[in-house]
Amino acid sequence: MVQEIWPGSSYPLGAAYDGTGTNFAVFSEVADGVELCLFDEGGTETRHRLCSVDGFVWHGYLPGVGAGTRYGYRVHGPYEPAAGLRCNPAKLLLDPYARAIEGDIDWDESLFGYRFDDPESRNDLDSGRHMMKAVVVNPFFDWRNDRPPRIPYHQTVIYEAHVKGLTQLHPAVPEHLRGTYAGLGHPAMIEHLSRLGVTAVELMPVHQFVQDHHLIERGLRNYWGYNSIGFFAPHNGYAAWGQRGEQVQEFRAMVRELHAAGIEVILDVVYNHTAEGNHMGPTLSFRGLDNGAYYRLVDDEPRYYMDTTGTGNSLLMRNPHTLQMIMDSLRYWVTEMHVDGFRFDLAATLARQFHEVDKLSAFFDLIQQDPIVSQVKLIAEPWDIGDGGYQVGNFPPAWTEWNGKFRDTVRDFWRGEPATLADFTSRLTGSADLYQDDGRRPVASINFVTAHDGFTLSDLVSYNEKHNEANGEDNNDGESHNRSWNCGAEGPSDDPEILALRARQQRNMLVTLMLSQGVPMLLAGDEFGRTQGGNNNAYCQDNEISWLDWSAAESNAPLLAFTRRLIMLQRRHPVFRRRWFLRGAPVRDAGEALPDIAWLTLDGTEMADEHWDVDHARTVTMFLNGEAITEPGRRGERIVDDSFLVMFNAHHEPLRFTAPDAGFGKEWVTEVDTADPAPQREDVLEASGSTELPGRSVKVLRRRT
């Protein structure tokens, strides 16, 4: 091991390899001393005291230390848990800025700050042999001609997926690549995504995370990954090529291949808490470096942690070093890993400078002024479990949001809940009631019916109740109010009428999702009817319950074909993905006498006020005027599209729908019919003519010019 250490630099934080040596820099305001610990192949540890400190950043440069070197830190300082101070040099600590992490923790007693037999004691057992290690990474990579696709929001179709679950069972992906970044970048996966028509993959957490002790004890694993410990490091469990930093290059290669296919990469990021948990959790990194700087502690009892996430702790969003770390992480993933955006888990917690949610908090100020991060896609999960945590519609103008109200309303409408028609049409048109007042546009709404958290689309129409017994919590975990409907039988059925209704309901919700204004998000596998057997909280199911069963893509080929055709319809027609809110009035400056949107009754006349107030209303026809699009094209030209009628029948019985008079159009050709997903002949409806829609079905008609 190298013995000589030079002063080095306090910036950048982390381990920066320059080709001849590595600079190490780590923040701690409470430390009395910091030791850099290097580990050789046999696990032998060599310690170097960092004698240079500037602005509470401890630093040093080691010539000759290169990529692949494993390291960690030991911090000397006060240990007074009652005062919120938890330094202990017996605990090997991860670098918060580690670009790669090797191994996992084994939950040995030495990882904790107290002894198991006495929670009030101090534990000086050395944790070095039981800890994961940070790894120095080679920053150089051949990106070739990679360019960010920069797909505008109004042209975006998001596909929410899990790196491992997406490819673990894919027969065309080589076995040694399944469940990995390389597997996701494989041509077989890219072909599926391209043929499906999605423009972005939103990956569930890929930051290095920790396996929960209570899950390991039950023979389970943390599958979802919302338990981050390294905000700069790709999770090593998804790497095909080893764990000595190679996962970084593998991740980059995946991004490069997806970009070459015109597909963006969005990361689901968890900056609201860490895997260290509450005061009974292990000491892995932040807790031992500077507990009070990184975490929100209870004001009058700093031994304990404020928790608005349900995980035991929350990061302190008013500390400048914590904010710097998050911003540095975001910039790193954009500039060095070439990702195209972020979905922020429990984003309301990030807005809590103090106790209340504040959309003018320092975090949002930093995002707004950052010339790099502000230019990528920023998607909020706009809630947490704290007081006032449900913040749908309340994020700053540069942000988009997972629209939970879209999900709930669409589910309620199609399962037959009363008094949902007015809300349903609001969601169809981009949720102006949520986003218009602060200057945002329809694309502020990320529309979804299903996501990783909850039922799949197939399960949504097959189960009334959750079935989470496999999680080992007596079915007490997970949401109990799913707004689902099993169509007449709980779970698998061989009744042809029930199966036909379930298939139609899936198509109904896919049509609603894809043809609503806003940005559609499809859950991976919903395009071919993936099931989790009624498990609506599969966070711990790293197995066939959660992995995509690709044989269903063959057995349910009609649904896959229908979804592809539907996405292509949406992408071909800007009338379904407008950049501005609809006005419900004629566009006179375009010489158009018809309104940009109109709502019609069963007899083809425009809806009156009294029609909206009927609790049992289950039907509506939406007219979308393709000649009344007000926003200009890329070259400033006026956009003109086809016009459409979309007929919704959520009633359980068949009903006749009448087309409007010839002023709206003389002939209408059926483009989509959820009751007849693969029509054998062209279906034409004349002005003022009628067509029967079976119970619970949608028909989409294009005006023939």
Give the domain ranges of the chain.
456-581, 583-704
Q: Check residue 385 and report its DSSP letter.
A: S
**Three-class SS of residue 426?**
helix
Phi, psi (degrees; rounded to nearest 5) at 10: -80, -5
Distance CA 579, CA 629 (A): 9
pTM: 0.97
Give the chain's length.
705
Exposure string over 106-134, b if 16+ CB within 10 A, otherwise e: ebeebbbbbeeeeeeeebeeebbebbbbb
CB 344 within 8 A of CB 373: no
List, in order, residues 6 or more apart from 489 with CB less than 8 Å away. Answer: 495, 498
Helices and strands per DSSP (H, E), number in the chain: 17, 31
Coil, helix or strand for 286?
A: helix
Whole-number pLDDT of residue 150: 97
**CATH architecture designation of domain 583-704:** Sandwich (2.60)
Active site residues: 345, 381
382 within 8 A of 402, measured Cβ to Cβ: yes
Per the CB < 8 A criterion, the answer to whether 513 and 410 are in contact is: yes
Contact yes or no for 471/423 (Cβ under 8 A): no
Bond into 12 cis (ω within 30): yes
pLDDT-flagged residues of the chain (< 50): 1-2
Say which amino acid occupies 646.
Answer: V
**pLDDT on residue 1:** 45
* Cα(464)–Cα(151) distance, integer angstroms: 38
The set of long-range contacts for 672-675, using a CB threshold of 8 Å and a minimum separation of 24, is: 672/511, 672/565, 672/566, 672/569, 672/698, 672/699, 672/700, 673/697, 673/698, 673/699, 673/700, 674/504, 674/507, 674/508, 674/511, 674/698, 674/699, 675/504, 675/699
Q: Tell which residue, 26, 87, 15, has the closest CA to residue 52.
A: 26
So what's the pLDDT on residue 704?
Answer: 95
Residue 103 one-letter amino acid: G
User: Are 463 and 485 within 8 A, CB to CB?
Assistant: no
DSSP output for 108-176: -GGGBSSBTTBTTS------GGGS-EEE--------TT-------GGG--EEEE-HHHHHTT-TTS-GG
3-state secondary structure of 341: strand
Residue 504: predicted pLDDT: 98
Residue type, 184: L
Q: At 360, which amino acid appears?
A: L
